[in-house]
Structure 1
Amino acid sequence: MKLKEISKDIYDVDAWMDEQYGKVGSPERNEFRKEAYSYCVGQMILDARKQEKITQSELAERVGSSKSYISKIERGLIEPGAGLFLRIIDALGLRVDIVRPIM
């Protein structure tokens, strides 16, 4: 489906998402969000690894995993568990801040 043009440069992305993946809250939309999240996490790890100039094999060795598992994470095919995710973040010189949102 093409995006519905609202004006020359404005499109209704919400309507397109509803049509492609179901309404917000639907099982199809939730599955899409999960896949998109996995892909984004994988891309962040890939970018950080490349910035650190280390290979997938080197990262895998640092965190006690395999190169193929790191590859699957970077491609968004799987999500690492919390423990592995934190080891990956640490191995890449990153940090995670857990804070309460300001309301």
Structure 2
Amino acid sequence: NEEQVGQAVRDSKKKREELFITSKVWNTDQGYDQTLRAFETSLKKLDMDYLDLYLTHWPVPELYAYTYSEIERLYDEKLIRATGVSNHEPHHL
């Protein structure tokens, strides 16, 4: 629904800075390069330059360390303002 969210934001006439936009990387998009592609696709669908929060949806055992590494890089480059996780247990963190 990212395209619809992006359109709703544009239709609202609100300044981007007044809104808090969240997305997440899905299981099939995890890994270093895949996470970057998924993130870029989300930005394009939303028609935005950055996200306020980018989540890892599930901890894919073989990939979540690579996923987190890419998300940290996106954070360092100020393409995301915050990161988080969903559906994780303490031992995943």
TM-score normalized by structure 1? 0.26
- The higher-RCO structure (CA 8 Å, 6+ apart) is 2
**Larger strand proportion of the pair:** 2
**Larger helix proportion of the pair:** 1
Structure of higher CA gyration radius: 1
